[in-house]
Structure 1
Amino acid sequence: MRFVPRITPALLLTLSSTTALADATTLTGDWGGLRQRLQADGITFTGDYSGETAYNAHGGLHRSARYAQNIKLGVQFDLAKLYGLDDAGQVQLSVNDRRGNSASEDLVGNRLPIQENYGGLYTRLTELSYARNLTPALNLKLGYMAMGNDLGGLDSGILCNFMNAGFCGHPLNMSGGSGWSNYPNAHLGARLKYDLAPAWQLRLAAFNVDPASNGNASRAWHLGPKHTTGTVLPLELVYKRQGALPGEFKLGYYYDSSNVQRIGSDKHVAGRGGHYLLVDQALWHDPASPGRSLHAFGQYSASSQAASPFTRWYGAGVVLYQPFAARPRDTLAFGYGRAVPNPRSRDVLQAAALEAGQGLPSLDSAEQLLELSYGYQATSWLNLRPDVQYIVEPGAFSAQDIDNALVFGLQVKATF
């Protein structure tokens, strides 16, 4: 049996209190100056840990706790520094390892993952890519990578002030109803970024669609596809507003050329797509305290009614940066989300229940999520995030009558 080390919140707290670091920005420090020298030569090592514990205190399926973790290690090679060439580009190599158990599957029975780092519980290659500027305004990136690294989410990172995957990342109905894949699932692809103006950018990409490799441990180190079904083509227009109250706005569309079966039918649909709108806008900032500000975010995403398990996602919320003067890197966040199941999926469940001589419970039209979190920056490399989630109609997607669930969580993030 292979031993896999488990990094727990208690271990990290012990390390933070006993390890004297010359460079406190990371857990492992500057390696006696070696890390800084390597970076100056063009080799940058990165690493981080995320551990998420969730306890279902009321409702759902069972009262208990579940823990999941993700460890990511990476290295970036700046070819310009390494070989003395102008704008030679960068090579990125990343590896992920995930372990643990799902609070959503085991304890609540809902669709939106309570722990955003759960899924694909094995060690895998998550990126081997090459990026460079073709012109001052045009950047190309190609290789083996996750789509969400560059598209479908907000660059500001505001959404990862939450623990639920409904917020942190891109809207989940994208991956539920097309070849768009969730991180850390990676595929062969290419991405272009073109600066239309100082505040405007156009992003275009093409990725191989290979559902057989998603979450498949036997494909963890295979760059090539197992079974290609098509190509997914995302297009994204980005506007970044500057000034005292900055903002980020994304309007996107994607099309998957795969031929897939329609929900509730033996017929197939050739091609499926969707669109989305993402917003992060500062509402207030404190002139007397730089960095202290209140941001609002919004998400809207619509996907194919022919093939997506849920067709709409709505999300909105606020994040207060530096809620206290003495805590400049802390955050306080509140969000609301609504995931709407495809009526065709419910019709399929209802037909199966009638055939079995059973009834189907009368449920609300969507699973809803309320989440409140506080990000406590314990050190420059350690963040602790107590979290509360209230899930309304957890059985909306499975057509099960499950009581609303109250979940308490703790997310721990550390930078190596």
Structure 2
Amino acid sequence: MLSALRITSCLLTTLVSTTTLAQDATLTGDWGGLRHQLDEQGIKFTGDYSGETAYNANGGLHRSARYSQNIKLGVQFDLEKLYAVDDGGKVQLTLNDRRGNSASEDMVGNRLPIQENYGGLYTRLTELSYERTLFTPALNVKLGYMAMGNDLGGLDSGILCNFMNAGFCGHPLNMSGGSGWTNYPNAHLGVRVKYDLSPAWQLRVAAFNVDPESNGNASRAWHVGPKHTTGTVVPLELVYKLAGDLPGEYKLGYYYDSSDAKRIGSDDEVAGRGGHYLLIDQAVWNSQASTGRSLHVFGQYSAASAAASPFKTWYGTGLVLYKPFAGRPRDTVALGYGRAVPNPRSRDVQQDAALANGEAFPHLDSAEQLIELSYGYQATPWLTLRPDVQYIIEPGAFSGEQIDNALVLGLQVKATF
């Protein structure tokens, strides 16, 4: 075992040495060799920071700027390495802290969060899970306290996190808007199973506890057990991964939440809520002259329960160009368009309430729309700077308010510790 003196010496060496900062994979480097040695022994430390600043340049509620941040720290224990146990599995522990203010709530008034890292402004336990293969290498099981979106509902390629708006980065938001599906970093008790049907096809199924009272509740930040269970949400996902010169990823999913929920526009309850989704990431061009330069298209479609979800459907599509310049091999250019459609029942409830109060209800289109353009500049292996422009059409589509279209300028900073 390493002595405390040597550990301290390694950390000090890392802090005072900046000669390899631009080349290191992480901001804190290899800790004088300690980090690599621990990894070899089965203990892997991870950490990252994201900061997102957004300025409303025109339209919306008023001109101003807002900043939000997310810090994630984790450690993974490889039990096979630590205890020399064949296929011992891995234990993951992750902590998360969020701070800041919302550009959507304070400046624009729209539904799709302009900053994907805003929400739940406190320190919390995000994951405590155990994962291993079972019976056969084709079967992988993970159970514990974790966020659903880490394994389901999003594209594994990570293509959607070339954007700053949560409408793109992550999974379609009508899943969480109309069921017990929860957004990261909200976690719940659950189990997830992956089974490789073939090298190209995989089936994923999970079951998670539904506990609305724990979502975004700072008093529940360190409580793994539920406070008030309303049901179980079960997602089922079929994944196809296309190999070759033009690789692709396709996901077809369905989810069902057994919780009772209030029917929109009625005092009655509906027994159970569900939805389905289709996600696509497909390379359409690869440069023969420059390795790594490629163009991908993506598509998203999801629909939620019409009876109980205020967010009925989401459509998203766009392009991501990898290695836009020969001298910038890890940069990206991303352009996306999204359309979030409110439930017509919710619109009827808003209109009836306005008429009952003698107020005029504004003439609104059928959806909030988003156009986003970003450039991912890989300053170092551990630092990404992403200038971002978002144009939000009909920000008041979900609130039933007449709000001018908004032009938002942003900057996202991501650093890996």
CA distance in 2: counterparts of 1:386 and 1:56, whole angstroms: 14
Following superposition, the deviation at residue 351 of structure 1 comes to 1.2
Instruction: Tell me the secondary structure at the aligned position of residue 404 of structure 1.
Output: strand
CA distance in 2: counterparts of 1:91 and 1:325, whole angstroms: 40
| Residue number in structure 2 paired with 1:77 | 77
CA distance in 1: counterparts of 2:17 and 2:159, whole angstroms: 32
CA distance in 2: counterparts of 1:290 and 1:252, whole angstroms: 33
| Residue number in structure 2 paired with 1:355 | 356
Which residue type is aligned with residue 45 of structure 2?
Answer: F
| Residue number in structure 2 paired with 1:4 | none
CA distance in 2: counterparts of 1:303 and 1:29, whole angstroms: 44
Tell me the alpha carbon deviations over residues 75-121 of structure 1, each in whole angstroms, 9 at most, x when there is no partner. 00000000001110000000000000000000000000000000000
CA distance in 2: counterparts of 1:112 and 1:310, whole angstroms: 11
| Residue number in structure 1 paired with 2:188 | 187
Instruction: Tell me the secondary structure at the aligned position of residue 212 of structure 1.
Output: helix
Instruction: Tell me the secondary structure at the aligned position of residue 81 of structure 1.
Output: helix
| Residue number in structure 1 paired with 2:289 | 288
Which residue type is aligned with residue 20 of structure 2?
Answer: L
Following superposition, the deviation at residue 21 of structure 1 comes to 3.5
CA contact (8 A) 1:21 1:28 kept: no
CA distance in 2: counterparts of 1:86 and 1:184, whole angstroms: 32
Which residue type is aligned with residue 353 of structure 1?
Answer: A
Which residue type is aligned with residue 396 of structure 2?
Answer: G
Following superposition, the deviation at residue 16 of structure 1 comes to 12
Following superposition, the deviation at residue 288 of structure 1 comes to 2.0
| Residue number in structure 2 paired with 1:117 | 117
Instruction: Tell me the secondary structure at the aligned position of residue 94 of structure 1.
Output: strand
CA contact (8 A) 1:282 1:294 kept: yes
Please state if 1:151 is matched with 2:157.
Answer: no
| Residue number in structure 2 paired with 1:66 | 66
Please state if 1:178 is matched with 2:179.
Answer: yes
| Residue number in structure 2 paired with 1:140 | 141
Tell me the alpha carbon deviations over residues 116-148 of structure 1, each in whole angstroms, 9 at most, x when there is no partner. 000000000000000000011000000000000
Which residue type is aligned with residue 354 of structure 2?
Answer: A
Please state if 1:390 is matched with 2:408.
Answer: no
| Residue number in structure 1 paired with 2:4 | none
Which residue type is aligned with residue 80 of structure 2?
Answer: A
CA contact (8 A) 1:233 1:255 kept: yes
| Residue number in structure 2 paired with 1:266 | 267
CA contact (8 A) 1:280 1:298 kept: yes
CA distance in 2: counterparts of 1:387 and 1:188, whole angstroms: 35
Which residue type is aligned with residue 222 of structure 2?
Answer: W
Following superposition, the deviation at residue 19 of structure 1 comes to 3.3
Instruction: Tell me the secondary structure at the aligned position of residue 137 of structure 1.
Output: strand
| Residue number in structure 1 paired with 2:93 | 93
Following superposition, the deviation at residue 287 of structure 1 comes to 1.6
Following superposition, the deviation at residue 18 of structure 1 comes to 8.8
| Residue number in structure 2 paired with 1:27 | 27
Structure 1 unaligned regions, length at least 5: 1-14
CA contact (8 A) 2:395 2:405 kept: yes
Following superposition, the deviation at residue 205 of structure 1 comes to 0.1
CA distance in 2: counterparts of 1:379 and 1:280, whole angstroms: 26
CA contact (8 A) 1:46 1:75 kept: yes
CA distance in 2: counterparts of 1:402 and 1:19, whole angstroms: 49
CA distance in 1: counterparts of 2:165 and 2:16, whole angstroms: 29
CA contact (8 A) 2:208 2:233 kept: yes
CA contact (8 A) 2:296 2:319 kept: yes
CA distance in 1: counterparts of 2:99 and 2:194, whole angstroms: 34
Identity %: 80
CA distance in 1: counterparts of 2:197 and 2:52, whole angstroms: 40
1:234-273 matches, within 5 Å, as: 234-273=235-274
User: Does the C-alpha gap of structure 1 residues 17 and 355 become closer, same or farther in structure 2, counting only changes over 3 Å?
Assistant: farther
Structure 2 unaligned regions, length at least 5: 1-13
Instruction: Tell me the secondary structure at the aligned position of residue 404 of structure 2.
Output: coil
CA contact (8 A) 2:15 2:28 kept: no
Which residue type is aligned with residue 193 of structure 1?
Answer: K
Instruction: Tell me the secondary structure at the aligned position of residue 171 of structure 1.
Output: coil
Following superposition, the deviation at residue 290 of structure 1 comes to 1.6
CA distance in 2: counterparts of 1:165 and 1:361, whole angstroms: 27
Please state if 1:410 is matched with 2:411.
Answer: yes
TM-score (norm: length of structure 1): 0.95
Which residue type is aligned with residue 328 of structure 1?
Answer: P
CA contact (8 A) 2:382 2:415 kept: yes
CA contact (8 A) 1:388 1:407 kept: yes
Please state if 1:303 is matched with 2:304.
Answer: yes
| Residue number in structure 2 paired with 1:7 | none
Following superposition, the deviation at residue 316 of structure 1 comes to 0.0
Please state if 1:208 is matched with 2:214.
Answer: no
Which residue type is aligned with residue 158 of structure 1?
Answer: I
Which residue type is aligned with residue 20 of structure 1?
Answer: T
CA contact (8 A) 2:276 2:302 kept: yes
CA distance in 2: counterparts of 1:30 and 1:101, whole angstroms: 34
CA distance in 1: counterparts of 2:122 and 2:67, whole angstroms: 15
C-alpha RMSD over aligned residues:
1.3
CA distance in 2: counterparts of 1:356 and 1:182, whole angstroms: 35
| Residue number in structure 2 paired with 1:219 | 220
CA distance in 1: counterparts of 2:213 and 2:19, whole angstroms: 46
| Residue number in structure 2 paired with 1:10 | none
| Residue number in structure 1 paired with 2:102 | 102
**Which one is further off, 47-56 or 22-31?**
22-31
| Residue number in structure 2 paired with 1:44 | 44
CA distance in 1: counterparts of 2:76 and 2:292, whole angstroms: 29
User: Does the C-alpha gap of structure 1 residues 57 and 17 become closer, same or farther in structure 2, counting only changes over 3 Å?
Assistant: farther
CA distance in 1: counterparts of 2:229 and 2:208, whole angstroms: 11
1:1-12 matches, within 5 Å, as: none
CA distance in 1: counterparts of 2:126 and 2:349, whole angstroms: 35
CA distance in 1: counterparts of 2:17 and 2:293, whole angstroms: 31
Following superposition, the deviation at residue 17 of structure 1 comes to 13
| Residue number in structure 2 paired with 1:5 | none
Please state if 1:131 is matched with 2:127.
Answer: no
| Residue number in structure 2 paired with 1:8 | none
1:310-325 matches, within 5 Å, as: 310-325=311-326
| Residue number in structure 2 paired with 1:328 | 329
CA distance in 2: counterparts of 1:391 and 1:17, whole angstroms: 45
Instruction: Tell me the secondary structure at the aligned position of residue 278 of structure 1.
Output: strand
CA contact (8 A) 1:258 1:270 kept: yes
CA distance in 1: counterparts of 2:284 and 2:177, whole angstroms: 32
Following superposition, the deviation at residue 355 of structure 1 comes to 1.3
